[in-house]
Structure 1
Amino acid sequence: MTTVRLLPVTTEHECLRCFDVMHELRPHLAAPQAFVSQVMRQMAMEYRLLAAWQEDRVVGLVGYRLTENLLYGRFVYVDDLVVSEEGRRHGLGARLIAAVREEARQMRCRHLVLDTGLGMALAQRFYFRQGLLSRGMHFVEALNTEETGS
């Protein structure tokens, strides 16, 4: 694998270049421009996107945010971590996690937190190798947000 550079995504154009890789992780994102719009909204709320570039192609992404709560104090939450099919098995996921971990330390965060699906055994094994430990379960309820007619 040729040299890979890790660079923050800051523009709509850069974000659009990330769509194909993010789509591997989030296949429900069907429209590239809707993805760009959503990421830009999230960036206004402190979401950060770090891209791994191999020449002029994005081959990996990590999306994360600085937050704080009573459980963890100040922490970085990883929303998205994905490496393209051809970029896997080259340590790129570990590099992305390490970059976010270092930024979290510089921001004086006490924890690095992420969620993964219960059936994602390979991802869980990767996270354990990166020093992340399972400390709980994540519960979700889909809320019906459709307006009802009178």
Structure 2
Amino acid sequence: MQITFKLLKKEEANIILPYLDIMNHHKVPMDVLKERFEEMLSQNYEAFAIYDHDQLIGCFGLWNMTRHYCGRSLEADHVYIEDTYQSKGIGAQLFQWIEVYGKEKGVTTVELNTYVENFPSHKFYYNQGFIARGYHFLKKI
């Protein structure tokens, strides 16, 4: 395996839409998902592809922001690695890469959200040195 992480230009970012669709359990219509994704790309958001050599195997995004409680931060978003590539150390490699990338950008904190019922991800993130700092609530209006 030769794993690389590539920042996607706006015009090529749609290659990861199928992964976002899977992550949303196909509940968001593709045209809505695409519209939202394009809006995200116009904000403080970067989309990345994960490759094994030249084969696309996953994706992730990073929000770049400053928060009152932790300073400059990157928030990892929609981290997805194909099933056949999971449990091979790629996630750990990814978060090490994110830390280096963040330090280069002057960031002091990496944060993320994960679904409450996604217990395997909780164990993974604890093993990567993350702590559970709070709850993420939402209310659709």
| TM-score, length basis structure 1 | 0.82
The match for 1:96 is: 94
RMSD over aligned Cα atoms: 1.8
Alignment of 1:63-78 (within 5 A): 63-78=61-76
In structure 2, the residue matched to 1:46 is 44
Separation in structure 2 between the aligned mates of residue 87 and residue 22 of structure 1, nearest angstrom: 17
Question: Which sits farther off after the overlay, 90-99 or 117-126?
Answer: 90-99
Whether 2:134 is the aligned partner of 1:136: answer yes
Corresponding residue for residue 79 of structure 2: 81
CA–CA separation in structure 2 for the residues paired with 1:57 and 1:123: 24
- Residue matched to 1:148: none
Counterpart Cα distance in 2 of 1:142 and 1:37: 18
Percent of paired sites with the same residue: 17
Runs of 4+ with deviation above 6 angstroms? none
TM-superposed deviation, 1:29: 3.6
Which structure 1 segments of 5+ residues have no match? 144-150
Give 3-state SS (helix, strand or coil) of 2:136's partner.
coil
Letter in 2 for 1:44: S
Taking the aligned partners of 2:105 and 2:56, their CA distance within structure 1 comes to 26
Report how many residues are paired.
Answer: 140
Q: Counterparts of 1:5 and 1:104 in 2: how far apart (Å)?
A: 16
Where structure 2 has 5 or more consecutive residues not aligned to the other structure, the ranges are none
Aligned to 1:8: 7
Tell me: CA distance 1:52–1:119, structure 2 relative to 1, closer, same or farther (3 Å): same
The one-letter amino acid paired with 1:4 is I
Distance 1:106 1:94, change over 3 A: same
Cα distance between partner residues in 2 of 1:34 and 1:99? 31
**Distance (whole Å) between structure 2 residues aligned to residue 92 and residue 36 of structure 1:** 27
- Alignment TM-score, normalising by the size of structure 2: 0.87
Cα offsets for 1:59-79 (capped at 9, x unmatched): 121111111121111111112
